[in-house]
Amino acid sequence: MNSESTPHRPVGRPREFDMTQALDAAIRIFSEKGYHGTSIAELKAEMGLTAGSLYKAFQDKRDVFVAAYDRYKQVRADLLEQALCSATTGREKVARIIGFYAMSACGETGRRGCLAIGAAVELVLSDAEIAARVGRHNRKLVTRLEGFIRDGQLDGSIRHDVDPASTALALFSYLQGVRIAGKTGELENQMLPSGEAILRILD
């Protein structure tokens, strides 16, 4: 979790709940019902907290959301690192990222959807701080994809006439969109093949 959003706990006062479990519950309900669609009462129930515990750890619903968002991004980043760790060429790295998102678009995770995309859709226009967070994460992924494309051009696994910047944004858009496509639970058997198909962009 990013330190700038870690809820502060008074020194010497033990927290009477597991913050990780509570935030995972918040991630679930925010992903399913959206920010505006989730009430504080539902958050308390899902997170297993009393009003006292919740307001001791968080200022308000938005503060829970920001902490849940940061944890979500961290969990997803860790899973992505695992998926990437044995990839060697630039092309393999791009393929692993694509496979990771296409797989996430399936099943329960796919239908629940991506908390970060939800934040972009619901909050980017009205909340400058969350917009900055979303923008920062987006830029980071686009820059990473661009780097992997350049790596692939150096190691010979990606064609040299592929433009790294615009191709990175095209791939990033696919990654976001496949999570939207996964929301309805349809076309699920085509998610992984669609990931194979998008890789042709590197040929």
Give the footprint of a second copy on this chain (CB under 8 A): 32-37, 111-113, 117-118, 120-122, 124-126, 131, 134-135, 138-139, 142, 162-163, 165-167, 169-170, 172-178, 180-181, 183-184, 186-187, 190-191, 193-198, 200-203
| Token digits of residue 132 | 């900055």
The nearest distance, CB 29 to a second copy, in angstroms, is 11
Nearer to a second copy, 154 or 165 (CB): 165
Angle among Cα 11, 56, 31 to the nearest 5 degrees reads 120
Nearer to a second copy, 2 or 166 (CB): 166
Nearer to a second copy, 83 or 201 (CB): 201
The nearest distance, CB 32 to a second copy, in angstroms, is 5
Identify the three-state secondary structure at position 88.
coil
Nearer to a second copy, 13 or 108 (CB): 108
Whole-Å CA distances, 116 to 3, 54, 56, 155, 156? 18, 22, 25, 32, 33
**Cβ–Cβ under 8 Å, residues 50 and 71:** no
Residue 61: half-sphere exposure toward Cβ, Cα within 13 Å:
13
